[in-house]
Amino acid sequence: MSNPPVYTTSSGCPISDAFSTQRISVQNNDYKYKPPVGPLLMQDFKLIDSLAHFDRERIPERVVHAKGAGAYGYFEVTDDISDLCSAKFLDQVGKKTKIFTRFSTVGGEKGSADTARDPRGFATKFYTEEGNLDLVYNNTPIFFIRDPTKFPHFIHTQKRDPQTNLKDANMFWDYLTANPESLHQVMYLFSERGTPASWRTMNGYSGHTYKWYNAKGEWKYVQVHFIARQGVHNLNNEQAGKLAGENPDHNTQDLFDAIEKGEYPVWDCYVQSMTLEESKKLPFSVFDLTKIWPHGDFPLRHFGRFVLNENPTNYFAETEQVAFSPSNTVPSMQPSNDPVLQSRLFSYPDTHRHRLGANFHQIPINCPLKSGSFAPQIRDGPMCIDGNLGSTPNYAGAYNCPVQYKASAKIAPDGVDEQYQGEVVPYHWEICDYDFAQPGKFWDVLGKTNGEQEALVHNIASHVQAAKPFIQDRVCEYFSKANPAIGQLVKEELKKLSKL
């Protein structure tokens, strides 16, 4: 360093020796090799300052998606989609917006292996002139549940047993087979796509249905797809297991090294859209997160691309403290009534207040870049470091109140544009035959590529062999709902593996 800083305490007092401690000298020793025998002093602020902070170094890890890595980049508009969406960051072809993306696994702890069989999180924060837009997606176009009450139950079965603290194939498969709306996602997860070769070689999907508005106030349902220009590349079960042992941080390293070398990953952005009328004719609910929209009926429309070209300089400050939420949006992009999405709108900012504190929005990585924020009633609280809006009145509507925002879309205030009337019902979403139609089609799609169906069967059997025999039987019945051949093949594969 040309001008190295001087070590100080946290209050800035210069330190001449970072490694010395204050001790009572009660013996006339040769201090160079033998320390004085007296105790340390309470007044040694340098030591206490450092130990006390060390004791508080850890914050709660994310309850899901704890292991991950991120990078900065930019999004660029490539095609005019103003007939569909009036978001300002999309209003000109060629316009660029700064982004930060974090990739993650879901079930494992912060130190767990990047190559575990698990969906991958794919969350991107767009720092737009209308505030932060977070697209909090996965690398799978569907999900295990469609009713949010199931989320904590489901996640617990993928975590550790309350007594043994071990992952348990029995509870994993017990839950999934008892809740077969999970089948579509589980087939995806146990295909080779469940173990991507790197974060650069996988796609991202909104999964949920959202609503986008144009400037006339007309809206359509949409689903978004990010398609990797690097192509989709996966590991097989054995390669993923080997890498988990040899280099559990494989994907973290791959992303960092690629960006350092200037090999910037790129994703193309597409949107599928559907009118309200079209949604009524679907053989499934448009709010069902376990279903995809057939591409033949709802074609992909290209609208942008994004590039990741800059590594963060501090993992904790940026990647650990970044707080994504589907509730961070811009006026012309609104959530649909998908109940899982609606629940996520609550859950993310709630966990951020727990994980990062009430003023998590003041952490630089979470600050809106261009427009800033002006919410004069959101004041004080722990670690308020942004000047707290100075002498501005701490309520809205004061005599010097700011101008109300005029959204470019003629959407009703705060996205509320539909009216509902009816009874409150305790709705439990039942299973129907159609729930297994798309998993059946997915099996046929796998059959088009050499070895993909065999890999699915092998991957299922390799996992379920750790479960009890009656659970194994249930697993075979479960996959037979997609196609009876799968159950039979898994049974045979289990026999083969038991002889090894």
> Footprint of ligand HEM on this chain (CB under 6 A)?
62-65, 68, 102, 104, 121-123, 136-138, 143, 148, 151, 207, 323-324, 340, 343-344, 347-348, 351-352, 355
Of 138, 139, 214, 251, which residue is the catalytic one? Answer: 138
Query: Least separation, in Å, of the C-beta of 232 and ligand HEM?
Result: 18
Binding site: what residues are annotated? 348
Give 210's strand partners: 222, 335
Instruction: Give the containing element (helix H, strand E) for 72.
Output: strand 68-77
Query: Least separation, in Å, of the C-beta of 142 and ligand HEM?
Result: 9
DSSP readout, 148-160? Answer: GGGHHHHHHHHSB
Residue pointed to by tokens 């629940």:
343
Decide if 145 contacts 134 (C-beta within 8 A).
Answer: no
Q: Identify which of residues 207 and 312 has a Cβ nearer to ligand HEM in the complex.
A: 207
The question of whether 65 is a catalytic residue gets the answer yes
Taking CB atoms, the residue at the shortest distance from ligand HEM is 121
Query: Least separation, in Å, of the C-beta of 68 and ligand HEM?
Result: 5
Query: Least separation, in Å, of the C-beta of 357 and ligand HEM?
Result: 12
Q: Identify which of residues 104 and 252 has a Cβ nearer to ligand HEM in the complex.
A: 104
Binding site for heme: what residues are annotated? 348
Q: Identify which of residues 53 and 354 has a Cβ nearer to ligand HEM in the complex.
A: 354
Tokens of 408: 């470019």
Tokens of 232: 């989709």
What is the spatial distance between Cα 168 and Cα 172, in angstroms, rounded to a whole number? Answer: 6
Angle 10-111-468 from CA coordinates, rounded to 5°: 150
Q: Identify which of residues 88 and 193 has a Cβ nearer to ligand HEM in the complex.
A: 193
Q: Which SS3 state, helix, strand or coil, does residue 1 take?
A: coil
**CA distance readout (Å), 77 to 34, 91, 303:** 68, 8, 6
Of 3, 28, 29, 65, which residue is the catalytic one? Answer: 65
The question of whether 132 is a catalytic residue gets the answer no
Q: Identify which of residues 66 and 77 has a Cβ nearer to ligand HEM in the complex.
A: 66
Query: Least separation, in Å, of the C-beta of 151 and ligand HEM?
Result: 4
Decide if 274 contacts 336 (C-beta within 8 A).
Answer: no
Phi, psi for residue 181 in degrees, rounded to 5:
-65, -15
Q: Which SS3 state, helix, strand or coil, does residue 212 take?
A: strand
Tokens of 344: 């996520």
Which of 476, 413, 498 minimizes the C-alpha distance to 177? 476
Instruction: Give the containing element (helix H, strand E) for 446.
Output: helix 437-446
Tokens of 194: 């469940």
Q: Identify which of residues 288 and 493 has a Cβ nearer to ligand HEM in the complex.
A: 288
Q: Identify which of residues 61 and 76 has a Cβ nearer to ligand HEM in the complex.
A: 61
Query: Least separation, in Å, of the C-beta of 353 and ligand HEM?
Result: 10
Tokens of 367: 């600050």
What is the spatial distance between Cα 208 and Cα 223, in angstroms, rounded to a whole number? Answer: 7
Strand segments (E) across 322-424: 333-335
Query: Least separation, in Å, of the C-beta of 322 and ligand HEM?
Result: 6
**Do strands 266-274 and 219-228 pair parallel, antiparallel, or not at all (unpaired)?**
antiparallel
How many residues make up the chain in this entry?
A: 500
The set of catalytic residues is 65, 138
